[in-house]
Each structure stands twice: as C-alpha cells, then as structure tokens.
Amino acid sequence: MTTERKYRLFTPEFKREAVRQMSDSNKHCTQLARDLGIRVNQLYKWKKELEAKPEDAFPVSGRPAGPESELAKLKRENERLKQENETFNSVLCQEPCVKYAFIRDHAGQYPKRALCRSVGASPSGCYAWRSRPESGRLKANRTLLQRIEEIRRQTRQTYGPLRIRKELLCQGIKAGLNRSITKLKRQAGLITAQAKA
C-alpha cells in the first residue's frame, strides 16, 4: 500500500520571518530549523533566494506576482466571457423548446437558474418542459422521418421530395411537401444523390 506524501506550503511572510530569525537570533541554524519544523537546507535555500531577489522572492503558486500576471488572468477571463456571451446570444431568439434543450445540455457547466436568466427562459417552464410528454406532432414527424429514410434506402437515396411524397401517398400516408418532407429531410441532413450524367 502506497501512502500519499503531503507537502507543507509556507507563505512568503513565514519564509521571510524564518530568514530574518536565522540572521538575527543566536540560535544555530539546525536548532532554528527544528523549532520551525523545517529542514536546515530549506532555510539556506530561502536565504539564498531572498538575497538574490529581495523584492520578487517567494512568488505565490510559482507564477510571477505583479501586474503582468493579473493582466493575463483578466485577459483569459475576458475571452471566456466573450465565448459564453456568443453561445448564449445564439439561443436568445429561438423557440422556448430550443432554449430549454440548451439549458438541459449545459446544466453541468453552469447553474440552471443562471442559464434560464441568460437565455430569457423561466425556470418553472424549463422544469415543466422536461417532465412534459412528447407532443403528437413530434411523434408523427419521427414516424414520417423513419418512412422517408426507409424509402430512401429502397431507392438508393435517389428520390427527391416529390417522388418521396408520391411514394408516401401510395402507402396511404399524407404528408405536405414543403412543410413536412423537405423540412424533415433538411433537419435530418438527408441529401438526395444526384444521378450521374
């Protein structure tokens, strides 16, 4: 069984105080290190680092402290907010069901209430949409799309909307040309194969 090694983190103030005590006190470095609960070589390392760069010694989390790191952090935050804004704006003018689907898909990344507020949807409407059964039109569209795909398979994907409609009428299924067949084909990404000339 392996045990995970725990490392102690020391603040810059602690390190500066330890180096100050090392130079000011009459204690031997070994005794001082024992009193502070650190290794002797750690004290010498801190002293060397402080003498080399008195102002910039002991940066926090390994990154250079100062306005450059703060500016880089703000630039990253600004870029992230721009991306989020573009994503949310693409959903703003959509139907409520599209907004609710967007909220469902991004619920793991952001709080649901914040998502609802940003896309202009009500949380209660979102929860009601989620528990609502599928509408009759969606069911009919799904079965119609299955029939369209079946006809396309049988005809090696050469039938366009007109011929698909005629085939559906022969099977006793009424479907509108533009509203149903063309729209469903477009939504499903079904493209008619062109005959070779």
5 confidence band (pLDDT: 50, 70, 90)? low
Q: Identify the CA nearest to 80 among candidates 109, 105, 116.
A: 109
Whole-angstrom distance, CA of residue 144 vs CA of residue 181: 8
What pLDDT score was predicted for residue 14?
85
More confident residue, 1 or 150: 150
Whole-angstrom distance, CA of residue 192 vs CA of residue 152: 8
Average pLDDT on 10-26 reads 84
Q: Where are the alpha helices (DSSP H) in 10-160?
A: 12-24, 29-36, 40-52, 67-92, 96-105, 112-119, 123-131, 136-154
| Average pLDDT of every residue of the chain | 82
What pLDDT score was predicted for residue 84?
74
124 confidence band (pLDDT: 50, 70, 90)? very high
Using the Cα atoms of residue 67, residue 69, residue 73 and residue 76 in order, give the sign of their dihedral: positive
Contact 37, 45 (CB under 8 A): no
Whole-angstrom distance, CA of residue 119 vs CA of residue 88: 6
More confident residue, 85 or 173: 173
More confident residue, 4 or 1: 4
What pLDDT score was predicted for residue 65?
54
What pLDDT score was predicted for residue 150?
92
Three-point CA angle 17, 19, 25, nearest 5°: 90
What pLDDT score was predicted for residue 60?
66
Stretch among 93-107, 112-126, 179-193 having the lowest mean pLDDT? 179-193
Contact 126, 116 (CB under 8 A): yes
Q: What length is written for the chain?
A: 197
Is residue 160's pLDDT more than 70? Answer: yes
Whole-angstrom distance, CA of residue 38 vs CA of residue 168: 83
3-state secondary structure of 169: helix
Is residue 81's pLDDT more than 70? Answer: yes
pLDDT digit string (tens) for 52-67?
Answer: 887 777 776 655 556 7
Contact 30, 40 (CB under 8 A): yes
- Alpha-carbon 117 to chain mean position: 18
pTM of the model: 0.41
What pLDDT score was predicted for residue 192?
76
